[in-house]
């Protein structure tokens, strides 16, 4: 088996509520689905379930990974932040940043989520697997060194990268963030670094509203190693593939990384409640093909996907299944139940021309 799938049941138990019916959440009392928050275990659990239902999971190297240790976390997060998070978690949970609630044991679950990303990256870099997917939850790309936000409690991908660099498993890493929201945490952590290229493709002015400008290109040694592809609302299938082809892929090709990590959110999907983009299952399938073809060309096929956002409990599993089918080269398909309808809902010609123009402006400004 060439493709790893890293998951852990505890990641589905992360929640903001401290009660299950009338019983306090503790020990083996599983939290209820989050009270009112759009981020819930369901979109992730149902992806795992769909892989089992179709049998694709039998063609993947399903496995767990150890939690990220305190030493692993300290490469990215200050001790004071780690201690505060751990103390709140031990005391029964709370909220540690903008829209970052967690219950008892939330610290350990977040460390597990980061540990899965670490395990996936390490297994690919040491050659055990060709590529790997980490079903991380809570997500990580909004979390800076000391400021969790947007459901992200620890910076999963950054923790994994720093561990790999510290172990000498890689020298240069490219992060392509296609979650529909700006990857502000990953950007901030590596903003002054030339060894980690960060690219975020996102809906402009979504979340965080004041981040993700095209002009933000990095600073100091990191000048030129951060790229924000800020797309207008309503951008659809063709625009995503065009932005990949015209901007993201050429940037990664020029950077020559040892591995490509995708911050793999599915909230650019047409049905997602937290954004206004028009991507479909086929968009994520085609973008995966694009990344894999480039990885074959420049870094022996080394690709690691780390799960980020995506809030349609029904649709996310189909998007993820398509990504994993492509990664593994399997024949086992889970056809998009909405394919015919969502194809008809793609933007019209005028809107398409407008978005193409915006992409061309960015490409020209980057001299690509």
Which residues bind to Zn ion, rule: CB under 5 A? 179, 181, 265, 267, 309
Q: Please, which residues have CB within 8 angstroms of residue 74's CB and are 6 or more apart in sequence?
A: 82
Q: In this complex, which beta carbon is closest to Zn ion, that of residue 203 or of residue 239? A: 203
For CA atoms 195, 201, 202, 205, the dihedral sign is: positive
Q: How far is the CB of 69 from Zn ion (least distance, A)?
A: 27
In this structure, are residues 254 and 240 in contact, taking their beta carbons and an 8 Å threshold? no
In terms of Cα–Cα distance, which of 137, 106, 112 is closest to 310? 137
Q: How far is the CB of 167 from Zn ion (least distance, A)?
A: 29
For CA atoms 142, 147, 151, 156, the dihedral sign is: positive
In this structure, are residues 134 and 120 in contact, taking their beta carbons and an 8 Å threshold? yes
Two structure tokens written together for 297 = 């060309």
Q: In this complex, which beta carbon is closest to Zn ion, that of residue 162 or of residue 267? A: 267
Catalytic, out of 14, 142, 307, 321: 142
Sheet holding 196-203, edge to edge: 61-63, 3-6, 131-134, 303-307, 259-264, 173-177, 196-203, 226-231
Angle at 262 between CA 271 and CA 177, to 5 degrees: 65
Helix H or strand E encompassing 19: strand 19-20
Q: In this complex, which beta carbon is closest to Zn ion, that of residue 57 or of residue 239? A: 239
In this structure, are residues 135 and 47 in contact, taking their beta carbons and an 8 Å threshold? yes
Estimate the crossing angle of helix 316-328 against helix 42-54, to 10 degrees: 50
Q: In this complex, which beta carbon is closest to Zn ion, that of residue 16 or of residue 309? A: 309
Residue 297: CB atoms within 10 A of its CB come to 11
Q: How far is the CB of 184 from Zn ion (least distance, A)?
A: 11
Q: Where are the beta strands (DSSP E) in 204-351?
A: 226-231, 259-264, 303-307
Q: How far is the CB of 268 from Zn ion (least distance, A)?
A: 8
Q: In this complex, which beta carbon is closest to Zn ion, that of residue 18 or of residue 239? A: 239
Q: How far is the CB of 163 from Zn ion (least distance, A)?
A: 24
Residue nearest to Zn ion (CB): 309
Q: In this complex, which beta carbon is closest to Zn ion, that of residue 122 or of residue 267? A: 267
Q: In this complex, which beta carbon is closest to Zn ion, that of residue 50 or of residue 268? A: 268
> Whole-angstrom Cα distance, residue 112 to residue 73?
11
Q: Is 181 a catalytic residue?
A: no
| CA dist 75 → 79, 161, 166, 261 (Å) | 10, 10, 9, 18
Q: How far is the CB of 261 from Zn ion (least distance, A)?
A: 16
Q: Please, which residues have CB within 8 angstroms of residue 31's CB and are 6 or more apart in sequence?
A: 13, 14, 15, 16, 17, 18, 20, 25, 103
Residue 313: CB atoms within 10 A of its CB come to 17
Q: How far is the CB of 265 from Zn ion (least distance, A)?
A: 4
Q: Annotated active-site positions, please?
A: 142
């Amino acid at each position: 088996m060439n493709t790893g799938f890293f998951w852990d049941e505890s990641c589905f138990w992360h929640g903001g509520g401290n009660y299950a019916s009338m019983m306090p959440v503790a020990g083996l009392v599983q939290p209820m689905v989050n009270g009112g928050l759009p981020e819930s275990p369901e979109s992730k659990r149902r992806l795992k379930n769909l892989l089992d239902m179709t049998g694709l999971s039998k063609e993947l190297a399903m496995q767990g990974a150890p939690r990220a240790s305190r030493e692993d976390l300290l490469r990215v997060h200050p001790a004071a932040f780690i201690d505060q998070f751990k103390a709140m978690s031990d005391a029964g949970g709370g909220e540690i940043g903008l829209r970052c609630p967690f219950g008892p044991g939330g610290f350990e679950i977040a460390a597990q989520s980061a540990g899965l990303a670490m395990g996936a990256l390490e297994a690919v870099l040491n050659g055990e697997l060709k590529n790997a997917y980490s079903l991380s939850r809570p997500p990580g790309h909004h979390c800076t060194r000391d400021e969790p936000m947007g459901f992200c409690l620890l910076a999963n991908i950054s923790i994994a990268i720093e561990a790999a660099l510290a172990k000498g498993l890689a020298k240069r890493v490219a992060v392509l963030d296609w979650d529909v929201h700006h990857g502000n945490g990953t950007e901030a952590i590596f903003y002054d670094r030339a060894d980690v290229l960060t690219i975020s493709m996102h809906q402009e002015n979504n979340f965080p509203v004041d981040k993700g400008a095209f002009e933000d290109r990095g600073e100091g040694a990191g000048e030129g190693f951060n790229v924000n592809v800020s797309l207008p609302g309503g951008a659809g299938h063709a625009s995503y593939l065009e932005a990949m082809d015209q901007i993201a892929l050429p940037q990664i090709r020029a950077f020559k990384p040892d591995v490509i990590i995708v911050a793999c959110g599915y909230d650019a999907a047409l049905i997602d409640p937290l954004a206004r983009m028009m991507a479909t299952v086929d968009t994520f399938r085609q973008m995966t093909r694009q990344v894999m073809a480039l990885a074959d060309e420049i870094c022996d096929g080394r690709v690691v996907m780390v799960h980020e956002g995506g809030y349609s409990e029904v649709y996310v599993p189909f998007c993820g299944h398509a990504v994993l089918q492509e990664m593994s080269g399997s024949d086992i398909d889970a056809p998009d139940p909405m394919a015919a309808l969502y194809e008809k809902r793609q933007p019209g010609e005028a809107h398409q021309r407008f978005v193409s123009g915006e992409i061309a402006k960015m490409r020209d400004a980057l001299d690509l």
